[in-house]
Structure 1
Amino acid sequence: MGGRVLIGTQGWNYAGWVGPFYPEGTRSADMLTRYAEAFPTVEVDSTFYAIPPVNSVLGWAKRSPEGFVFALKLPRDITHERHLRDAEADTELFVERARLLGPKLGPILVQLGPDFAPSELGALRDFIPRLPRDLRFAVEVRQERWMRDDVLPDLLALLSDHGVALALSDGPWLPRETVLDLAAAPTADFHYLRWMGPNRDLTDFSHVQVSRADEVDEWLAALTKLDALGIDVYGYVNNHFEGHSPATARELQRRLGIRPVDPREIGEQISLF
C-alpha cells in the first residue's frame, strides 16, 4: 500500500496469551518486549482508566524497539465523565506524558462514550481546536445518530478542518456498511481502525472461538482501495473480535502482504542462552 500499514492488538498483558502466543513462562513484566517482536504497534488500553505515571510511559519506551508505535486512549474521565468539558488541564497533562514516548508516540484516540450524542457537537467543536497540531488524534463515536445525513457532514467537516481522523470501528455501535463507506473519505492523513466485535461475553482469550472471515474480507477490500490514497493506516484488534486477537492480527497482516511473525519465533534470542 502507498502509506505505512501497522497492524497490532488492543493491549498486550493477557494471561491467556501465554502458551498460544507468548512463550511458556513469560512474566507479565516481559510481555511488552515479547509482543514487540511480533507486532509494530499496540493500542494501550490502560491509559483509558488514568493518566499514566511518568515511569510507566518511560518503561514502555524502554521495553520496545526503535520504530515501535504506541497508540494511546484519552482517559475516560475526560471523554466519558466530563464529556470533553472543563478538561483542558488534564488533557494537557496527558499529552505531556504521551510526549515522553518521543518518536514512538502514534495516534491518540478520543473514544467518546455511547451517551455522547450529536447534540454535544458543540463540546467537540470547543475541544478539538485545542489539541496540538503536531500530534495525530482520532475520534470515535458510538451512537448511530452521528451517521445521520443532517449530522455526519458537520462532524466530518470539523475533523477534516483540524486533520483529525474519524476512528472506524467494527463493533455493535455503527453499521459496518456505513463505516466501510467512510474509509474512502478520510478526514486526516491517516486512518485509525478498530476491530472490536460483538462478543463481549468472551473471557478466554487463548484461541480463536468465532470466525469473522467474512467481515475481514470486507475490511480487506476497503483497505485495498485505500492504496491509491497513500495514507498511513493504524489497525488494532480486540480479543472480543474472534477470541484471540494476535491470531486475527497475524491473519490481517498475511492478507495485506505483511509477513506475520510465527509465535514460535518470539523469544528465540532468549532461549539460546
Structure 2
Amino acid sequence: MIKVGLTGWGDHPDLYTSSPKQKLQDYTSHFPVVELDASFYAIQPIKNTHKWLKETPDNFQFVVKAFQGITGHLRTESPFDSINEMFQIYRESIQPYKEHGKLSMVLVQFPPWFKCEKENVDYIMRVREELRDFEVAIEFRHQSWYAPDFKHQTVQFLREHQFHHTVCDEPQVGKGCVPLVPITTSNKVLFRLHGRNTYGWINPGNNVNWRDVRYLYDYNKEELTVIQKVCEQLHKQADEVVVLFNNNSGGHSAKNANTFKKMLGIEFEGLAPKQLDLFEGGI
C-alpha cells in the first residue's frame, strides 16, 4: 500500500472549497494521510486531538510529529519540570490517535546538529523506551548517520529496535542534510519530500519566515518520475509506504502530490465526499 499526503493541512489554498474552519475536512477529500506539525511546536491539548479525529474519515491517518523538546530543537526554556513529565504529557496527547486507529506513526525528526555519536544513540534508545507503545519513525538531518563507516550500523540499529526509517529527498549541500537512502527497516517506511531548493537550504535567512525560503520548490515531471521509481523500490521492501510532500512554501506540494498520485495510478478509498478534480491536468 502506498499513501500520499502533505505536511499540514492549513497551507494548501487550492484544496479548499468550504469555510476556513473546514480546511481539514476539505483536505481529507484529496489525501488519506497528513503530517501533524502543530505537535512539534507545542504538545497539543486533548480537545484539539478529539476535534481533528472527529473531522476526519474513519480510515484517515496522522503522522504526528514529535514535540521539539523531545527532538532537541527547543531553544527556549522547557515548559515542563522534567523530561519524564514531557514524555508523559506527550504520550497522553497522542494516545487518542492510536485508540481511534488513526495513528500512522510518530515522526521523531532530529536536528542537523544531532550527530552519530554514542550519547545520541543512547538518547534514541531513551525515546524508544518512552514511546514503546507507539510506532516511531526516525528522521536524521546530519550526514554522519549515513557515512560509509556508519550507514550499515544505522540501518541495523533502526531495524533491531523496530523504528521505521524516514527516507528523505532534499538538497545535498553539506553535513546538515542526508542523502536519499531507499532502505526500509520495518514493514512501513516514511518518504518525506522536502524539495530541492539548494540556495534556500543553505541560505534560508534569519527572519521568522525562513521556512518559506527553504521549502520553496516545485518538482517537475522528470523529478517525480525518479521519485516514483524510489517509491516503488521501497514498496518492494515494505508493506506500506507513506509519501509526504513538504515543499509547501509556494503552494506546490498539493499539485505535486496530486500529479504523483496519478503517476502511481492509485485512487484512495474512504476519502471525504468533496470535489476530487480540482487539479485536472496536473503539471
Residue-by-residue CA offset, 1:242-268 (whole Å, 9 max, x unaligned)? 74211111111111111379x981599
Match of 1:192 in 2: 190
Counterpart amino acid of residue 238 in structure 1: N
Match of 1:35 in 2: 27
Residue-by-residue CA offset, 1:212-254 (whole Å, 9 max, x unaligned)? 3333222211222234335111111013487421111111111
Structure 1 pair 61–121 and aligned structure 2 pair: CA distance change class (3 A) = same
2:266 partner SS: coil
Q: Are residue 95 (structure 1) and residue 94 (structure 2) matched?
A: no
TM-score (norm 1): 0.80
Q: Which has the higher helix share?
A: 1
Structure 1 pair 264–130 and aligned structure 2 pair: CA distance change class (3 A) = closer
Instruction: Using CA pairs under 8 Å that are at least 6 residues apart, name the structure with larger relative contact order, 1 or 2.
Output: 1
Number of matched residues?
251
Out of 231, 252, 262, which is 1:244 matched to?
252
Q: Distance in 2 between matches of 1:259 and 1:195?
A: 20
Match of 2:208 in 1: none
Q: Distance in 2 between matches of 1:178 and 1:81?
A: 21
Match of 1:154 in 2: 153
Stretches of structure 2 that go unaligned for 5 or more consecutive residues are 76-81, 205-210, 279-283
2:9 partner SS: coil
| Contact preservation (8 Å) 1:198, 1:241 | no
| Contact preservation (8 Å) 1:74, 1:108 | yes
Pairing of 1:196-211 with structure 2 (within 5 A):
196-199=194-197, 200=200, 203=212, 210-211=218-219
Match of 2:263 in 1: 255
Q: Distance in 2 between matches of 1:195 and 1:138?
A: 15
Pairing of 1:1-273 with structure 2 (within 5 A):
4-14=1-11, 17-18=12-13, 20-23=14-17, 26-81=18-73, 87-101=83-97, 102-119=100-117, 120-172=119-171, 178-179=179-180, 182-183=181-182, 185-199=183-197, 200=200, 203=212, 210-240=218-248, 243-259=251-267, 265=275
1:233 partner SS: strand
Stretches of structure 1 that go unaligned for 5 or more consecutive residues are 269-273
2:101 partner SS: helix
Q: Percent identity?
A: 24
Q: Distance in 1 between matches of 2:217 and 2:252?
A: 8
Q: Distance in 2 between matches of 1:264 and 1:97?
A: 29
Query: In the TM superposition, what is the alpha-carbon distance from 1:150 to its structure 2 partner?
Result: 1.9
After superposition, the CA RMSD in angstroms is 3.1
Structure 1 pair 89–267 and aligned structure 2 pair: CA distance change class (3 A) = farther
Structure 1 pair 230–81 and aligned structure 2 pair: CA distance change class (3 A) = closer
